[in-house]
Amino acid sequence: MLSTKLIKLVVVTLTMITISIPAHAHRAWIKPSKTVLSGEQNYVTFDAAVSNTLFIPEHVAFRMSYLSATGPDGKAVDFENVGKGKYRNTFDLNLTQNGTYRVGSASSGLRASWKDAEGKRKRWPGRGGPTKDETFETAVPKQAQDLKVEYSSYRSETFVTLGQPSDEVLAVSNKGLELVTVTHPNDLFATETATFKFVIDGEPAVGTEIEIIRGSMRYRNSQDTILVKTNEKGEFNVTWPHAGMYFLEASYKDDKAQAPATERNGSYSATLEVLPL
């Protein structure tokens, strides 16, 4: 069983999921101005938003409080020149070390639904998140009818590299659905094949469903979505048809959740730049 302390923690992080991810049609994305840079020091500008059309801010801004950056040495890097707008937030990252940086957001938590005595569907936490000191144990009836409890994780990220790519910052935490970068995410080229792997809580995420869409979809009639599933090792391959910014989105679900949850699901997204040969 999850401890009361841990349940409180996942409740807080679930609030992040509820607030930061609107309807399924909307995609949360973090887009760097470029992902591969040279020199002893350089800057990258980022846009962060949630929108229907990829990389076109037209719904809501991605909340800055959910975002963080990690440098090649594993230490946090502060954002600079933060600008908060209605449809997008912008910020700069000062790259002072050679190697790969990770920018993103991650969260996880419990979610429950059931029917009350009158047959009405109830959900916890509500739209506004749990109230103060509210936990799964205090909010959900002990004998709830048609109770469904999910443990959900969410991660959205992107990567930028100054000079030679490095791998230290790419290490997984073994919490939730995560991308294992067999091919370095800043070493992607059009017409070449890249190999990646998904893990869920550190184990191969077999059967993860993945969608990959190139940006600039506003200027073409079809999305040209690449659909793929992970194999028995959690791995998958993708051959990039064109250069450009791509959005990778993945989802996973199974029944191996830790009690009191009965279902475990994970969502993952990343913005990746594919360069011409």
Kindly give the confidence (pLDDT) of every residue in the chain, 277 residues in length, as a single tens digit, with 9 standing for 90 and above. 334 333 333 433 443 443 334 334 689 999 999 999 999 999 999 999 999 999 999 999 999 999 999 999 999 999 999 999 999 999 999 999 999 999 999 999 898 999 988 888 988 888 767 777 788 888 888 888 899 999 999 999 999 999 999 999 999 999 999 999 999 999 999 999 999 999 999 999 999 999 999 999 899 998 899 999 999 999 999 999 999 999 999 999 999 999 899 999 999 999 999 999 9
Distance CA 8, CA 173 (A): 20
Give the strand pairing for 226-229 and 99-115: unpaired
Chain position carrying tokens 């040495």: 73
pTM for this prediction = 0.86
Distance CA 29, CA 41 (A): 25
Distance CA 95, CA 42 (A): 5
Distance CA 61, CA 178 (A): 24
Q: What domains appear along the chain, each with residue ranges and CATH number?
A: 4-108+150-274 (2.60.40.1930)
Q: What one-character DSSP code corresponds to residue 259?
A: T
Kindly list the distances between the CA atom of residue 238 and the CA atoms of 46, 89, 216, 241, 248, in Å, as whole numbers in the listed order.
25, 30, 19, 9, 11
- Residue 92 pLDDT: 98
- Residue 157 pLDDT: 98
Q: Name the residue among 157, 168, 192, 178 with its Cα closest to residue 230.
A: 178
By the 8 A CB rule, do 25 and 54 touch?
Answer: no
Q: Name the residue among 275, 193, 181, 274 with its Cα closest to residue 238.
A: 193
Q: How many beta carbons lie within 10 A of that of residue 183, not counting itself?
A: 14
For residue 110, the cross-strand partners are 151
- Residue 128 pLDDT: 66
Would you state the torsion angle of the CA atoms of residues 62, 66, 67, 70, taken in this order, to the nearest 10 degrees? -160
